Amino acid sequence: MKVVVLKEGNFSVSKEKEFMFLDESSKGIRMAIQPFLVMTETENILLDAGLGWFENEQPKIVANLSVQGLEPFHINKILLSHLHKDHISGLVNTSTEDWTLNFPDAEIYIQKREYDYALSKNDCLSFDLEILDFIIKSAKIVWMTEDSGSISGEITFHVTGGHTPFHQVFWIKNEGETYFYGADNLPQSAYLKYHLAYKTDFDGKTAKDQRVEWEALAKKEHWKILLYHDLEKSILEF
């Protein structure tokens, strides 16, 4: 098994949830966007799908996959932690009026309760309901309804809440190694240095308490933590 970071870049985010490529004059919250590719002996799996950024008139996530010798049709499954636009927009090529899926052959795993919540937040700028609607109507959706379970022999999930009401996290275990993807409940290494409840989370206290538990387990079991929004690191090893 191999885990690869598919970094789209470093961005600044305005109060209106607009993402701009980061430079010295950038204002707003700074964060990386970096989905992860899990390559097993039998399939290729994405953990979230990025912002849908374009580079040289091509989706950056597709270009990143080509570096690994993969084409979009090689992706078998895409696991979504939650449905904010910077985690799902990379599923759709919006470069023309007739949108298409970047990964038309892949199964998209979505927590059903998170989807229902997203539909109730049509005034929330963190969601892009037009893109979400296109995904639901066009892709091969696998609806997840359980609080925890297995995606495959190597990957398990658990619904944690925290950043959003039904945000979920994933563990990838293979040959004695454990990778943990906490998505936006643990997006940057600084979240382990400063144990804070963030107002940007739906339930900041729950997210904070979970990070304390995960850090203890990570140290005990020597996890490798995948950091979706960290500007400097993609994988934190204990």
Q: pLDDT category, 184, cuts 50, 70, 90? A: very high
Boundaries of every domain in the chain: 2-237
3-state secondary structure 127-149: CCHHHHHHHHHHCEEEEECCCEE
Architecture of the domain whose range is 2-237:
4-Layer Sandwich (3.60)
Residue 24 has pLDDT above 90, yes or no: no
Per cent of the chain over pLDDT 70 is 100
Which residues make Cβ contacts (< 8 Å) with residue 194, sequence separation at least 6?
A: none
Q: Are the beta carbons of 35 and 50 closer than 8 angstroms?
A: yes
Q: Which tops the pLDDT comparison, 87 or 26?
A: 87
Q: pLDDT category, 28, cuts 50, 70, 90? A: confident
- Mean pLDDT for all residues in the chain: 96
pLDDT of residue 72: 97
Residue 57 has pLDDT above 90, yes or no: no
Distances from the Cα of 178 to the Cαs of 6, 14, 28, 81, in angstroms? 19, 35, 34, 18
Mean pLDDT within 97-122: 97
Residue 25 has pLDDT above 90, yes or no: no
**pLDDT tens-digit series, residues 194-209:** 999 999 999 999 999 9
Which residues make Cβ contacts (< 8 Å) with residue 163, sequence separation at least 6?
A: 82, 183, 184, 185, 200, 201, 202, 207
Q: pLDDT category, 27, cuts 50, 70, 90? A: confident
